[in-house]
Amino acid sequence: MLDVRSCASLSEAAGIISGDRQALLIAGGTLVMREVNEGRLTEGTLLRVTDPAFRQVNASGGRVEIGAGVTMAMVLANRDLSYLHAPARGIGGPAIRTMATIGGNLFAETPYGDFTVALLALGAEVVVQAGYGSGRAVPLEDFLAGRERGGQGLVTAVQFARPQNPSEFLFRKISRVKPKGISVLSIAAHLPTSGGRLVQPRVAYGAMAPVPMRARGVERALDGKPLDTAAIQAAKQAALEGTRPATDAIASDWYRREILPVHLGRLLAGEPR
Amino acid sequence: MLEMRKDLFADERDDNLNVVGKGVQRQDAPGHVTARTRFFDDHAFDGLLHLKVVRSPHHHARIRAIDVSAAERAPGVKRVLRGADVPVNKNTLLSLINFGKDDEPTLAVDKARYKGEPIVAIIADSEAEALAARKLVRIDYEPLNPVFDVEEALKPGAPVVNETYPGNYFEYHQRFDHQKLRFGDVERAFAQADHVVEHRYQMSPIEHAPTETNGTIAAPEHNDRYVVHSCAQGLFFSLGTTAKIVDLESNRLHFIGGTVGGGFGGKVDSLSEPLAVLGAMLTGRPVRYVLDREEEMLYGSPRGAERIYVKDGVMRDGRIVARYIRSYFDAGAYTRLSSYAAIKCTAHVPGPYSIPNVASDIYVAYTNRCPSTAMRGFGVTAVDFALEVQMDRLAEAVNMDPMEFRILNAYRDGDMKAHRRVAKNTALVECVQVAAEKANWPISEQARRASSLTEGGGERAQIPATPLDQRGQIGRPESRNGPATQTLPAGTTRIALSKQPVFEGARDSRPTPVQVPRYEPSPRQEAPRYDPAVAPPLPAYQPAASPPPAAPPPTAPAQPQHGAVRFSSVFGTRRR
Amino acid sequence: MAKLPVQFRLNGSDRAGFVDPAGNLLDLLRRGLGDFAPKYGCGQGTCGVCTVLIDGEPQLSCLTLAISCEGRQIETASGMADGPNLHPLQQAFMDNFAAQCGFCTPGMLTAARALLAKNPNPTRDEVVEAISGNICRCTGYEPIIAAILAAAAGGAGMRRA
């Protein structure tokens, strides 16, 4: 039978998670309760964290930190996080957004997890606490690579450098159902410029690989170039590098590959879907 | 918005009706908006038990052994059910109207025929306990080769899906592996057509996805009956099915329904009622069995997939002179309502068009996929999609506007349909005209002036001479390409049945050993040999079809009809 | 495993029940407390028929641990009418034929109520977004959108939400 424990501090929860392989954190419940409701999760302990730090946002400075228990609705209510409103609004309906958390989204299986795609383009790090010690920051890409193995510890927050110019952060989720549905794919791009040229752009995809991925080919094609027709054309040509999309109920791998360059081109050119 | 075009349908409706044509408040709306409407699951019972089902993870596998001992000892478990606990563990839905053979177990015993087939049911104090115990059931499977493609399934040597139908096809009229339609001579017309256009169409299964999943609560009642809160779309259909499977007199079942949280055809299969009632009988407690969403999506029956071949002969001037349709319904592992889908499909071809030569062969094939069932126009919608795409392709082939092409070929009042019924109240011409008007699609003056009321009947009311064949006899796959064997004379409105259906068996839903209609042989009627060069004379005893009289015929007094006879018209066994 | 007590306000009344530690709010409301307004539709957060308001925010009761609701305010569609007088949204759903089978209706009403509480004069796009987590398989949504806009135009959001 499943038990539930409430933890008043993050380190208490981290300690239990490190010591008990059958302990699982529950935040918004959108992932864990499904497993319970459908009978896949019937043994072990669910951990609730009541520590206020878990739901804290620090977004005013140059380094942004968002607690793992912060919900999509809280992101949407925070004006300092306006560049993250598009990905937050893309998650479910209003009821899901009052529940679903940033931390949970890091664990959402493809084709879910669109907010994580945005964090990847922001170059975010995941704060992971193992045992009762203090947390360490892990690059999101490394975190995602090891996600399936599990056992990394308790995710307490995400951190990233605030984009200097919010208009240089782009996000688009492509789904077949309007106003929204599950992702066929999603694209996030952070495109800082200096002197009219892109400087170390970061582009990330959702649903184009088993976990959200960086589009290195696109980044190389854009780096140091002005964002003009030629650069966008080069980006489209490099769009599929490293992608390994799946065929699922939403789309075939073929369809995902076909439409990715099209939507990437439109996003970069500032054109509507 | 709905609009009654009085210019087109002046006599169709009285304008002074109180309800028809008016906006009237639905009587169930107050209950819906106040959340007082009670759906099957909205009933409180003390001591309610919860039933969960163990399903096959294999598409096709022999069941070697089932071990439920650990599940029976699990906390909260009150009872574990297996196939042997089900009193009549083989049924087909349409056995209630004597159509088809019992072919589907409630809980699979020796073999699983599709992924998700129920094998064991667990009844426990809580859902969580039933789910936990479900993991403790051990089943030893021997995987078998599955078949997923309808045409592959019909080939000799294909894995046998459902032993009740060893050829992997539903058996029609105890004679054929498919349902036939023959009207005129399509082969001769193809030979004479300017263009022959043939295409293959395929559609996938479609899930109804009702917001309320299938489910039932059954509980012992004070008067030696069981009350059953059911989601069924056809409540008495489900009552009869349940009574048969649990082997109770139907008057001991008190079904309550009428509120269905979305059905669309997906709640006619009695997926949950029999096990819930059986659970209540065996535990003496209320039992609730509700599919979860994954079960509903993957294992609740869908609209079946169809593969359709359409072959048309068309003349340069745009007249379609022949249409042949060969279609395959994917029944999945069991019949459920697919046998009926093929009948509906046959009744619908060749679509709303006057075509002088029509033939169709509609198959129901068994595969190791989830059994399919009813869904909004099943048997009709997919073939309509195929036919309308085909119409666009034909219009292109003869270089005609697709709207005008449809108006040219649309049936008109008085035309003879391929089923030897005269078309009445036709309106396709007007529908296309209005669609063109709404879409600002230019059509010619001639097409605009066309009317369903004119140009029909006459020569178009004739029934042509029709070659017949014995292709596709049960158990003889080599007969699928046999030659024509005889010709029905022109004007023959019906084929004389060589076998008379005799319906028997209990009507109170008690199980009967055989639910197949028995046919009595009658002397074979001699028909002229097939000779396309000779048009046989009109037989004097056949009423020649003619355009309908201007005045409506006198209404015949309604005859009380027996259920089986009433339904038999649907299945083509009724003689008119 | 021992059941745990939980107490909260449901539609303005104090209610209490005992639940399995990992039991969800939907089961407690329906099986424990007899409020059948929220429905089970998917158990995974896709359909919205179990939507309730928790401290005024729309949430999915099938994904909410019942014990996390201790001391909170929970509102369901059962509590929308004021005695015999329908809430303007309920009346608008009747007038606009926004309920067909009725199964999604309590969740739809709750989602709409949450919208109008925050935004008494929503645009059509805002209405669409507000019910984007609620699936209706009968109506095609248009009558529902029309009903919510009609209720807003009639001042439903201003009067009481």
Higher pLDDT, B137 or C157: B137
My answer on whether B420 and B319 are in the same domain is yes
Q: Are B110 and B223 within one domain?
A: no
Distance from CA of C72 to the nearest CA of B (A): 22
**What pLDDT does B1 receive?**
57
For the cut 60, the answer to whether the pLDDT of residue B311 exceeds it is: yes
Asked whether the predicted pLDDT for residue A77 surpasses 50, the reply is yes
Residue C153 has pLDDT above 90, yes or no: yes
Please report the pLDDT score of residue B495 as a whole number: 64
Q: Report the residue of chain C nearest A47, measured CA to CA.
A: C22
Residue B357 domain-assigned (yes or no)? yes
Whole-number Å distance between alpha carbons of B297 and B292: 9
Edge-to-edge strands of the sheet including B179-183? B179-183, B358-366, B320-332, B306-314, B195-203
The count of C-alpha atoms lying within 13 angstroms of the C-alpha of A186, restricted to the half-sphere facing its C-beta, is 30
Least confidently predicted of B126-130, B294-298, B521-525, C79-83: B521-525
Would the pLDDT of B520 be above 60?
A: no
Pair C71, C124 in one domain: no
Question: How far A42 CA lies from chain B's nearest CA (Å)?
Answer: 6
Number of structural domains found in chain A: 2
- Select from B268, B299, B330 the last residue of a domain: B299
- For residue B132, the domain's CATH number is 3.90.1170.50
Q: Looking at the structure, do residues A51 and A139 belong to the same domain, yes or no?
A: yes
Same-domain pairing of C119 and C63: no
Q: In the structure encoding, which two tokens stand for residue B47, read together?
A: 């001591």
Give the residue with greater pLDDT, B383 vs B501: B383
The answer to whether the bond into B146 is cis (omega within 30° of 0) is no
The b/e string for B267-290 (b: 16+ C-beta within 10 A; e otherwise) is bbbbbbbbbbbbbbbebebbbbbb
- Closest residue, chain C, to A5 (C-alpha): C21
Q: Where does the pLDDT of residue C111 fall: very low under 50, low under 70, confident under 90, or very high at 90 and above?
A: very high
| Whether residues B406 and B285 fall in one domain | no
CATH code of C69's domain:
3.10.20.30
* Cβ-Cβ contacts under 8 Å, C106 against chain B: 35
A2 interfaces chain C, CB cutoff of 8 Å: yes
pLDDT, position B181: 96
How close does chain A come to C60, measured CA to CA in Å?
6
Q: Are residues C8 and C66 in the same domain?
A: yes
Distances (CA, A) of A56 to A69, A74, A102, B165, C125: 8, 10, 11, 65, 31
**A102 assigned to some structural domain:** yes
Among B299, B333, B363, the domain-final residue is: B299
Domain boundary among C46, C79, C112: C79
CA-based nearest residue to B564, from B510, B496, B516, B522: B516
Which among A1, A2, A95 has CB closest to C60? A95
Whether residue A42 has pLDDT greater than 50: yes
The better pLDDT of the pair B544, C120 is held by C120
Closest chain A residue to the Cα of B131, Cα to Cα: A39
Is B403 among the domain residues? yes
- Backbone phi, then psi, for A196, in 5-degree steps? 80, 0
- Is B39 contained in some domain? no
For residue A84, give the CATH number of its domain.
3.30.465.10
- With vertex at residue A270, the alpha carbon angle to CA A264 and CA A273, rounded to the nearest 5 degrees, is 60
* A131: confidence class by pLDDT, cuts 50, 70, 90: confident
Task: Read off the amino acid at residue A56.
Answer: Q
A116 in any annotated domain:
no
Point out the domain boundary residue: C79, C112, C146. C79
- What's the structural domain count of chain B? 3
Q: What mean pLDDT, rounded, does chain B reach? A: 87
What confidence score (pLDDT) does residue C98 get?
Answer: 97
Do A77 and A191 reside in the same domain of the chain? no
pLDDT recorded at residue B538: 36
For the stretch B390-437, pLDDT in tens is 999 999 999 999 999 999 999 999 999 999 999 999 999 999 999 999
A192-216 pLDDT, tens digit each: 999 999 999 999 999 999 999 999 9
Please report, for the domain that includes residue A205, its CATH number: 3.30.390.50
HEC string for chain A: CEEEEEECCHHHHHHHHHHCCCEEECCCCCCHHHHHHCCCCCCEEEEEECCHHHHCEECCCCEEEEECCCEHHHHHCCHHHHHHHHHHHCCCCHHHHHHCEHHHHCCCCCCCCHHHHHHHHCCCEEEEECCCCCCEEEEHHHHHHCCCCCCCCEEEEEEEECCCCHHHEEEEEECCCCCCCCCCEEEEEECCEECCEECCCEEEEECCCCCCEECHHHHHHHCCCCCCHHHHHHHHHCCCCCCCCCCCCCCCHHHHHHHHHHHHHHHHHCCCC
Contact B29 C34 (CB under 8 A): no
Q: Tell whether B491 is covered by a domain.
A: yes
User: Does residue A218 belong to any structural domain of this protein?
Assistant: yes
Indicate whether A181 and A95 sit together in one domain: no
* pLDDT interval class at B214 (50, 70, 90): very high
Same domain, A14 and A147: yes
- Could you write out the three-class secondary structure of C6-61? EEEEECCEEEEEEECCCCEHHHHHHHHCCCCCCCCCCCCCCCCCCEEEECCEEEEH
Residue A148: predicted pLDDT: 82
The verdict on C73 and C102 lying in the same domain is no
Cβ within 8 Å of C, A 82-111? 89, 92-96, 98-99
Q: Which domain holds residue B410?
A: 179-206+303-549
- The reported pLDDT for the residue numbered C134 is 97
> Has residue A118 been placed in a domain?
no
Tell whether A55 is covered by a domain. yes
Contact C41 B211 (CB under 8 A): yes
In this structure, of B505-509, C65-69, C113-117, C144-148, the range with the lowest mean pLDDT score is B505-509
Same-domain pairing of A175 and A212: yes
- Give the model's pLDDT for residue B565: 38
Instruction: State residue B312's pLDDT score.
Output: 98
Give residue B497's pLDDT band: very low, low, confident or very high (50, 70, 90).
Answer: low
Task: Name the pTM for this structure.
Answer: 0.89
Closest chain B residue to the Cα of C1, Cα to Cα: B75
Query: Could you tell me if A127 and A190 lie in one domain?
Result: no
The verdict on C25 touching A (C-beta cutoff 8 Å) is no
Q: Are residues C128 and C61 in the same domain?
A: no
In this prediction, what percent of chain B has a pLDDT beyond 70? 85
Nearest to A92 among C45, C67, C131 (CB): C45
Residues B199, B88 share a domain: no
Asked if the structure places residue B43 within a domain, the reply is no
Across the range B165-182, mean pLDDT stands at: 94
CB C115 within 8 A of CB C148: yes
A55 vs B481, more confident: A55
Angle between helix B381-397 and B338-348 (nearest 10): 30
By the CB < 8 Å criterion, does A36 face chain C? Answer: yes
**Domain harbouring B469, CATH code:** 3.30.365.10
B391 and B525 share one domain: yes
Nearest to A42 among B132, B292, B294 (CB): B132
Residues C75 and C116 in one domain: no
Q: Indicate if the pLDDT at residue C107 is higher than 80.
A: yes
Mark whether B125 and B73 lie in a shared domain: yes
| DSSP H or E segment with residue C146 | helix C142-153
CB-side exposure of A32: number of CA atoms within 13 Å? 26
Please, where are the H alpha helices in B372-415?
Answer: 381-397, 402-409
Percentage of chain B beyond pLDDT 90 is: 75
Judged against a pLDDT cut of 90, whether residue B230 lies above it is answered with yes
Please tell me the least confidently modeled range out of B194-208, B257-271, B531-545.
B531-545
What average pLDDT does this structure show over A81-102? 97
Burial class (CB in 10 A: 0-12, 13-18, 19+), B551: exposed
Q: In this complex, do B134 and A39 lie within 8 Å of one another by their Cβ atoms?
A: yes
Do residues C111 and C71 both lie within one domain? no
Residue C16 belongs to domain spanning: 4-79
More confident residue, A133 or B263: B263
Cβ–Cβ gap C39/B211 under 8 Å: yes
B126 closest CA partner among C20, A45, A5, C50: C20
The more confident residue out of B389 and B552 is B389
In this complex, do C65 and A46 lie within 8 Å of one another by their Cβ atoms?
yes
Considering the domain architecture, whether residues C140 and C101 belong to the same structural domain is answered as yes
Task: Give dist(CA A182, CA C69) in Å, integer.
Answer: 29
In this prediction, residue B129 carries a pLDDT of 96
Confirm whether B68 is domain-assigned: yes
**In the prediction, which pLDDT does A243 show?**
98
Higher pLDDT, A272 or B553: A272
Chain C residues whose beta carbon lies within 8 Å of the beta carbon of residue A99: 45, 59-60, 63-64
Instruction: Please write the tens of the pLDDT for every residue from A166-202.
Output: 999 999 999 998 888 999 999 999 999 999 999 999 9
CATH number, domain with residue C124: 1.10.150.120
Residue A130's pLDDT band (cuts 50, 70, 90): confident
Please indicate, yes or no, whether residues B441 and B357 belong to a single structural domain of this protein: yes
**Which residues constitute the domain of residue A15?**
2-107+123-161
- What is the DSSP-derived secondary structure letter of residue B233? S
pLDDT band at B482 (very low <50, low <70, confident <90, very high): confident
Q: Does B338 have pLDDT greater than 70? A: yes
Q: Are residues A181 and A146 in the same domain?
A: no
Give contacts of C58 with chain A, Cβ < 8 Å. Answer: 94-95, 98
Does B374 lie in the same domain as B269?
A: no
The subunits that touch chain C, with at least 3 C-beta pairs less than 8 Å apart, are A, B
- Whether A200 maps to a domain, the answer reads yes
Give the per-residue pLDDT at B496.
Answer: 62
Quick check: C94 contacting B, CB < 8 Å?
Answer: yes
- Give the minimum alpha-carbon distance from C140 to chain A in angstroms, rounded to a whole number: 12
Band (C157; pLDDT cuts 50, 70, 90) = low
Q: How many CB atoms lie within 10 A of CB B64?
A: 10
Tokens of B576: 């008119």
A100, A144: one domain? yes
Our count of domains for chain C comes to: 2
- Whether B266 is covered by a domain: the verdict is yes
Domain C-terminal end among B299, B329, B355: B299
CB–CB contact B128 A42 (8 Å): yes
Yes or no, beta carbons of C105 and B210 under 8 Å apart = no
Is residue A179 reached through a cis peptide bond, with omega within 30 degrees of 0 on the bond before it?
A: yes
Q: Best of B55, B125, B129, B131 to disrupt the A interface by mutation (most A CBs within 10 Å)? A: B131
10 Å Cβ neighbour count for A196? 9
Interface list for C 95-154 with B (CB within 8 A): 97, 99, 101-106, 109, 135-138
Give B209's contacts in chain C (Cβ within 8 Å). 135, 137
Q: How confident is the model at residue B542 (pLDDT cuts 50, 70, 90)?
A: very low
C-alpha–C-alpha distance, residues A188 and C99, integer Å: 39
Rounded distance between C-alpha atoms, residue A23 and residue A17, angstroms: 6
CB of A2 within 8 Å of a chain B CB? The answer is yes
Give the pLDDT of residue B498.
54
Lowest mean pLDDT among A143-157, B7-21, B289-303: B7-21
Q: What is the pLDDT of residues C78-93, one digit of tens each?
A: 999 999 999 999 999 9
